[in-house]
Amino acid sequence: MEHRIDRIKKQLHAQSYKLTPQREATVRVLLEREEDHLSAEDVYLLVKEKSPEIGLATVYRTLELLSELKIVDKINFGDGVSRYDLRKEGAAHFHHHLVCTECGSVEEIEEDLLEDVEKIVKNDWGFQVKDHRLTFHGICKQCQQETANTTT
């Protein structure tokens, strides 16, 4: 944890930003809840538990900053809310998501499945890919099993 905070600190410094206490508190929440896909409001409430004096606008500003520096990714699953997702250390690319339309769960795929596709895009469309967003909508393993059970 401390190691990752340190790295983020350095990334901020590299762009002459500071890791203020408020920013650190926000980053800590993101690290603790790395598996989740928190909205700004979610982050705000969690940060508030430990640093009650923080303001919502500050959280928004911090998330925006982290997003610009590609430390977090801002994603949108179609409900009206942006969600913020810590990028894995050293990951050049956004990871993929599996959104279950039954139970709403969100799984992550770390490995990059798009290398071949990106080659095609480059060769056939002349488009120079910098980043991608891939989300699958469907039915997760668990929900499939539950449906199978109730049917039997």
Partner DNA sequence: TATAAAAAGATAATCATTATTTATAATTAA
Partner DNA sequence: TTAATTATAAATAATGATTATCTTTTTATA
Q: Which of 4, 28, 39, 132 binds DNA (CB under 7 A)?
A: 39
Q: Is 90 in the site for DNA (CB under 7 A)?
A: no
Tell me the one-letter amino acid at 127.
Answer: F
Is 77:83 a contact under the CB 8 Å cutoff? Answer: yes
Residue 29 contacts DNA per CB under 7 A: no
Enter the DSSP assignment of 60: H
Asked if residue 69 lies in contact with residue 11, where contact means CB atoms within 8 angstroms, the answer is yes
State the Cα torsion 124-126-130-134 to the nearest 10°. -30
25 or 100: whose CB is closer to DNA?
Answer: 25
Binding test (CB under 7 A) with DNA, winner from 57, 90, 123, 124: 57
The residue within the footprint of DNA, chosen from 18, 50, 70, 122 (CB under 7 A), is 18
Of 24, 36, 14, the closest CA to residue 104 belongs to: 36
> Any contact of residue 108 with DNA (CB under 7 A)?
no
Task: Enumerate binding residues for DNA (CB under 7 A).
Answer: 17-18, 20-23, 39-41, 53-58, 60-62, 64, 80-82
